[in-house]
Amino acid sequence: MSKIKQKDFGTPASTAEQLVQLEIDGFKVTAPAGTSIMRAAASIGIDIPKLCATDSIEPFGSCRLCLVQIEGGRGMPASCTTPVAEGLKVTTQNPRLAEVRRGVMELYISDHPLDCLTCSANGDCELQDMAGAVGLREVRYNPVTTHLNATKDQSNPYFTFDPSKCIVCSRCVRACEETQGTFALTIDGRGFDSKVSPGQNQNFMDSECVSCGACVQACPTATLMESSVIEHGQPEHAIVTTCAYCGVGCSFRAEMKGEQVIRMVPDKDGQANHGHSCVKGRFAFGYATHKDRITKPMIRASIHDPWQEVSWEQAINHAASELKRIQAKYGKASIGGITSSRCTNEETYLVQKLIRAGFGNNNVDTCARVCHSPTGYGLKQTFGESSGTQDFDSVMKSDVIMVIGANPTDGHPVFGSAMKKRLRQGAKLIVVDPREIDLVKNSPHVKADYHLKLRPGTNVALINALAHVIVTENLIDEAFVQSRCDVASFNKWKTFIADPRHAPEQTETITGVAASDMRAAARLYASVNNGAIYYGLGVTEHSQGSTMVIGIANLAMATGNLGRIGVGVNPLRGQNNVQGSCDMGSFPHEYPGYRHVSDPATRDLFSTAWNVPLSLDPGLRIPNMFEAALDNSFMGLYVEGEDIAQSDPDIKHVHAALRAMECVIVQDIFLNETAKFAHVFLPGASFLEKDGTFTNAERRISPVRKVMKPLAGYQDWEVTQLLSNAMGYPMNYQHPSEIMAEIASLTPTFTGVSYEKIDELGSIQWPCNEETPTGTPIMHTEEFMRNDGKGLFMLTDYVATHERITPMYPLILTTGRILSQYNVGAQTRRTANNMWHQEDRLELHPHDAEDRGIVDGDWVGIKSRAGETVLRALITDRVQPGVVYTTFHFPESGANVITTDNSDWATNCPEYKVTAVQVTKVSQPSQWQQEYLAFSEQQLEFLEQGLSNG
Amino acid sequence: MKIERLIKMANDISDFFNADSDKEVAAEGVKMHLLRAWEPRMREAIITYAEQDGSGLSDLAKTAVSRLPH
């Protein structure tokens, strides 16, 4: 537990190396050049009164409370905007300063409600604190006109804007600009009429506000206040933990009253997020205590039966007995399990251990199968390690940022804000995306220098064209290639890529991107000191996903954009623990640390540690499990925290496979879509109810800390342990720290990781071992992690997807996600985030809409070779003609009814991003949707029956 | 295991390695990928198919499958 308030130094830290010595109130102080006097004073415990300054934003110098006097200097400069200088002698307190400060405070309070005792900020109000600090004892003014009757804005579900309490310090406005980069707030009017205004005098919900909470965080009074604090009062203790949403892995302080979370506040010391947050992590945590949580284990004989609540012992014994029965009947390889990126490292490690050691096979897979498995493959082959190369802070040194198939402002919003900050500082931007994401031109003061608006499915043709320009125009970093890369592979690649068939002029008919733009973008990327590539699922979720990852790696190596700050190849991971779940050996062919199951030394290591013989054959991947189920050779599945019945492609096929299995065990916090096909339900714990670690997209292992008791009684690792023991494979961990100790003892890149060190350092970026005891922010600085230390170039021929447009299916459907919802929506749909996004819609270009007689809001049928569903239309030129787009956050949308079984050649990652479809105006839901609705209602009825009988 | 699915997967793998002009290297690449990524049931099914028919496999895939250990 920690104190509620984090120290505020008033202004941001300076990163200058030069140190300056000065004297403040007679005390000697040493501070980096560029540090404000206010911060230097705070660093030795002298808190100069302030209101408009806070250390998350640049100083503004408007409140006039932080005035100081400097020996030999004139007047009373503001300490927030005055930098330290050698030999300065500063006085922060004297009668003259005190008088001025009291006068300023008197003016502020003359137009402020005197309702401190009933105010929601009572106990956490900087204005109140400053009134005390300056010794305000009376207010002589009695203004005729005030703002005391200003109307509250309660449009936002998570916070309230009460302008009667506003002191117009502009902290909210500046936070929205500097920290978030949305520029949704402004100070409207002048003088007495000045007021904070969202958008064009709109309320918060109608404005551009993205509800990140930066303004609430910055507000020194109760003007912008979490509605939960207004309702419940101030929290009394805080516990630092890690967000369970996207791969940014923000650090939060769960501010508590007993076991109730009052608010989640982004941790200023968070090394991934530096005190920033998004609407999901900051506010959308209410799902953890939602009424839909299931807290009792349940079993049933068939999915056509009602559920029956049972004890933990009964449920675990039944599950183990069923799994053993299936193995006895169908063979050892007839069961398996799926881990989830929503679970902790320790939990995923334990599930894969149960399967390899307890089930006796390697049939373990994870949801990374359907997102970043090509990243794992491609970067392992080329760089020798299945991970991104940089830390997030690296982007602040990039000169050119290339964003490929990612939408950081929606998918990874906190990192997106950092990226926007760097772009506002002048870095150039290349966007490679079929759709006009916000970064292209819809973010204030950010505009892409090149938007390569390619046709879905042509990534590899485009990356080859960029590489062709770099090779044929002699833009290669020869020194880097010769010293750091496998030269033979480079020479082979160079000959391959120089072939005229890869030239932009030859491939523009494939990609749909003008050759001149491809040439210019390639020159830009290769011509600057630091070129960085950030990519997402628009790269991986293709039939050539792995080829594209390799192509990106080739490009970065050829231009020497690796091994230092500001450059690199950076996969933006979708879920909070995608990196971690992969690191922990969740893939069927790899042990923890990405070591192949056929490697005798590694297998011996694990076999000895786990005291059991281990299989040398790779196991089934998720789609292979489905195939085997329909073949009656895979009949039992243990799924922890994953919702394959909604998230996986060609859903009708998935549902058929799940129906074919004899025992599906789902461990989750809700009766998710997969659980509707289950025979055993084991209630899981949310991230607030468990201890463990998550590893984010920059390989940062961060602590997850239990802030409340598990609602169902057990943390997820304990449930896995119970199941393992019932299966006859003993496990006896007392705490997740013991699991991490085992991981560290068996995994070379984790040997230096421990809970003690994570507590000490806050977080650790692996590799962390003897050579790098405090972790590795940037990888491959001296050599690559392949056996010979050299980066490997690989050949990347463009191969067109099997998915072709035809007169029957003339449009290409591609998918993505939106800021307010998260993946399958199981969490965010159970929060007020639905106010921003209540349904998935189909975006289509005005031309395609007009051709079909479709207007905005019409119900449209989307039919592919795999199936059909119905959504409402959203007409927009964000998509190009011939391309349609939707999100996939609502199960009834059936986005994956239409996606196909095409997949990446290397990893079977589904080709979600390319589906040929026809779109027509319709008047009723699709047959699948009607059937799904009936099935779902029946399953919920079975649940109700189980709960009422329990 | 649906053999059509396995044939498509094997051919897709071969399409990647086929970029190498040295077809010996390419065939070894496909073979190693099948060995390291495919579960035994899948390998057995594709070997059986290649031995009994094999017409759906590309030349490179066929060569690679023929080299897989039984």
Strands A700-704 and A69-70, bridge-based pairing: unpaired
Is residue B62 within 8 Å of B28, Cβ to Cβ? no
- Judged by CB atoms closer than 8 Å, whether chains meet at B1 and A631 is answered as yes
CA distances from A67 to A24, A128, A732 (A): 13, 19, 61
Beta strands in A766-923 (DSSP E): 811-815, 841-844, 859-864, 868-875, 883-886, 915-921
> Residue A705: left if φ>0, alpha if ψ -120 to 50, beta else—which one?
beta
The model's pTM = 0.96
Residue B4, chain A, CB below 8 Å: the answer is: no
Mean pLDDT of B25-53: 97
Q: Is the dihedral of CA A212, A215, A218, A223 positive or negative?
A: negative
CA distance A703 to A709: 17
CA distance A798 to A792: 19
pLDDT at A85: 97
- How close are the terminal C-alpha atoms of chain B, in Å? 17
Residue B13, chain A, CB below 8 Å: the answer is: yes
Does the pLDDT at position A562 exceed 70? yes
Q: What is the pLDDT of residues A854-898, one digit of tens each?
A: 999 999 999 999 999 999 999 999 999 999 999 989 988 888 899
B residues 29-58 lying closer than 8 A (beta carbon) to A: 33, 35-42
**Cis before A773 (ω within 30):** no
Does the pLDDT at position A473 exceed 70? yes
Mutate which of B16, B18, B43 to disrupt the A interface (most A C-beta within 10 Å)? B16
- Judged by CB atoms closer than 8 Å, whether chains meet at A905 and B19 is answered as no
Q: What is the pLDDT of residues A898-907, one digit of tens each?
A: 999 999 999 9
A359 DSSP assignment: I
- Judged by CB atoms closer than 8 Å, whether chains meet at B12 and A630 is answered as no
Instruction: State the CB neighbour count (10 A cutoff) for residue A201.
Output: 12
Does the pLDDT at position A4 exceed 80? no
Exposure of A430 in the CB half-sphere (CA atoms within 13 A): 28
Q: What is the pLDDT of residues A763-777, one digit of tens each?
A: 999 999 999 999 999
Does the pLDDT at position A950 exceed 70? no
Does the pLDDT at position A249 exceed 80? yes
Phi, psi of A770 (to 5 degrees): -60, -40
- Judged by CB atoms closer than 8 Å, whether chains meet at A543 and B12 is answered as yes
Name the residue facing B36 among A598, A627, A797 (closest C-beta). Answer: A598
Strands A680-683 and A298-299, bridge-based pairing: antiparallel
For chain A, list residues whose CB is within 8 angstroms of any CB belonging to chain B.
333, 362-363, 496, 543-544, 546-547, 588-589, 596, 598, 617-621, 624, 627-628, 630-631, 633, 795-797, 799, 802, 901, 903, 905-908
Q: What is the pLDDT of residues A267-290, one digit of tens each?
A: 999 999 999 999 999 999 999 999
**Which residues touch A20 (CB under 8 Å, ≥6 apart)?**
A30, A31, A32, A33, A35, A84, A85, A86
**Which residues touch B44 (CB under 8 Å, ≥6 apart)?**
none
> In chain B, how many domains are there?
1
pLDDT band for position A947 (50/70/90)?
confident
Does the pLDDT at position A948 exceed 90? no
Q: Show the tokens assigned to A93.
A: 């307190």
Closest CA to A702 of A169, A231, A247: A247
pLDDT at A103: 96
Does the pLDDT at position A1 exceed 80? no
The region of weakest confidence among A121-125, A155-159, A426-430 is A121-125
**Which residues touch A813 (CB under 8 Å, ≥6 apart)?**
A862, A864, A883, A884, A885, A886, A898, A899, A914, A915, A916, A917
Burial A351-374 (b: 16+ CB within 10 A, else e): bbbbbbbbbbbbbbbbbbbbbbbb
Q: Describe the strand order of the beta sheet including A19-24 as a list of residue ranges.
A: A27-32, A19-24, A89-91, A69-70
**Which residues touch A342 (CB under 8 Å, ≥6 apart)?**
A244, A575, A576, A577, A641, A642
Contacts of B39 in chain A (CB under 8 A): 333, 362-363, 588, 617-621, 624
Burial A395-420 (b: 16+ CB within 10 A, else e): bebbbbbbbbbbbbbbbbbbbbbbbb
Burial class (CB in 10 A: 0-12, 13-18, 19+), A445: exposed
Name the residue facing B19 among A496, A627, A903 (closest C-beta). Answer: A496
Tell me how many degrees the CA angle A22-A23-A29 measures, rounded to the nearest 5.
65
CA distances from A118 to A58, A122, A369, B21 (A): 32, 7, 53, 78
Q: What is the dihedral of CA A751, A752, A754, A760, to 10 degrees?
A: -170
CA distance A686 to A294: 11
Closest CA–CA distance from residue A675 to any residue of chain B (Å)? 25
Q: What is the pLDDT of residues A460-469, one digit of tens each?
A: 999 999 999 9
Closest CA–CA distance from residue B14 to any residue of chain A (Å)? 9
For residue A589, what is the nearest residue in chain B, using CA coordinates? B37
Which uninterrupted H or E stretch holds A257? strand A251-257
What residues pair up with A260 in beta bridges, in sequence order? A257
Domain extent, residue B15, equals 3-66
- Judged by CB atoms closer than 8 Å, whether chains meet at A589 and B5 is answered as no
- Judged by CB atoms closer than 8 Å, whether chains meet at A627 and B39 is answered as no
Q: Is the dihedral of CA A699, A703, A708, A709 positive or negative?
A: positive
CA distance A814 to A663: 34
Q: Is the dihedral of CA B57, B61, B64, B68 positive or negative?
A: negative
CA distance A800 to A498: 20
pLDDT at A574: 85
Which uninterrupted H or E stretch holds A520? helix A515-527
Closest CA to A20 of A69, A82, A92: A82
Closest CA–CA distance from residue B6 to any residue of chain A (Å)? 10
Name the residue facing A627 among B5, B33, B40 (closest C-beta). Answer: B5
Name the residue facing A795 among B9, B20, B33 (closest C-beta). Answer: B20
Mean pLDDT of B25-49: 97
Mean pLDDT of A733-750: 98
CA distance A237 to A232: 14
- Judged by CB atoms closer than 8 Å, whether chains meet at B39 and A802 is answered as no
- Judged by CB atoms closer than 8 Å, whether chains meet at B13 and A906 is answered as yes
Which uninterrupted H or E stretch holds A185? strand A185-188
Mutate which of A554, A602, A624, A903 to disrupt the B interface (most B C-beta within 10 Å)? A624
Q: What is the pLDDT of residues A168-191, one digit of tens each?
A: 999 999 999 999 999 999 999 999
Name the residue facing B37 among A333, A363, A589 (closest C-beta). Answer: A589
Domains of chain A in start order, with CATH, are 19-134 (3.10.20.740), 298-371+578-765 (3.40.50.740), 373-571 (3.40.228.10), 811-935 (2.40.40.20)
Look up the ipTM and state it: 0.98
Tell me how many degrees the CA angle A195-A201-A206 measures, rounded to the nearest 5.
130
CA distance B6 to B12: 10
Name the residue facing A547 among B16, B41, B42 (closest C-beta). Answer: B16
Residue B19, chain A, CB below 8 Å: the answer is: yes
Residue B23, chain A, CB below 8 Å: the answer is: no
Reduce the DSSP state of residue A324 to 3 states and report it. Answer: helix
- Judged by CB atoms closer than 8 Å, whether chains meet at A598 and B37 is answered as no
For residue A904, what is the nearest residue in chain B, using CA coordinates? B12
- Judged by CB atoms closer than 8 Å, whether chains meet at A617 and B16 is answered as no
Mean pLDDT, rounded, of chain A: 96
Burial class (CB in 10 A: 0-12, 13-18, 19+), B28: middle
Between chain A and chain B, the number of residue pairs with CB atoms below 8 A apart is 63
CA distance A851 to A788: 57
Encoded amino acid at A342, one letter: R
**Which residues touch A668 (CB under 8 Å, ≥6 apart)?**
A294, A639, A640, A641, A643, A674, A675, A681, A683, A684, A826
Q: Is the dihedral of CA A404, A408, A409, A415 positive or negative?
A: negative
Which uninterrupted H or E stretch holds A431? strand A428-432
CA distances from A105 to A10, A218, A268, A692 (A): 18, 19, 28, 47
Is residue A637 within 8 Å of A660, Cβ to Cβ? no
- Judged by CB atoms closer than 8 Å, whether chains meet at A627 and B2 is answered as yes
- Judged by CB atoms closer than 8 Å, whether chains meet at A618 and B38 is answered as yes
Phi, psi of A885 (to 5 degrees): -145, 140
Q: What is the pLDDT of residues A806-830, one digit of tens each?
A: 999 999 999 988 999 998 899 999 9
Contacts of A795 in chain B (CB under 8 A): 19-20
CA distances from A329 to A200, A333, A337, A338 (A): 69, 11, 18, 22
Contacts of B36 in chain A (CB under 8 A): 589, 596, 598, 618
- How close are the terminal C-alpha atoms of chain A, in Å? 37
pLDDT band for position A2 (50/70/90)?
low
What size, in residues, is chain A?
950
Q: Whose structure tokens read 């100081």?
A: A68
Closest CA–CA distance from residue A514 to any residue of chain B (Å)? 25
Which uninterrupted H or E stretch holds A481? helix A478-484
Secondary structure of chain B in the HEC alphabet? CCHHHHHHHHHHHHHHHCCCCCHHHHHHHHHHHHHHHCCHHHHHHHHHHHHHCCCCCCHHHHHHHHCCCC
Mean pLDDT of A725-749: 98
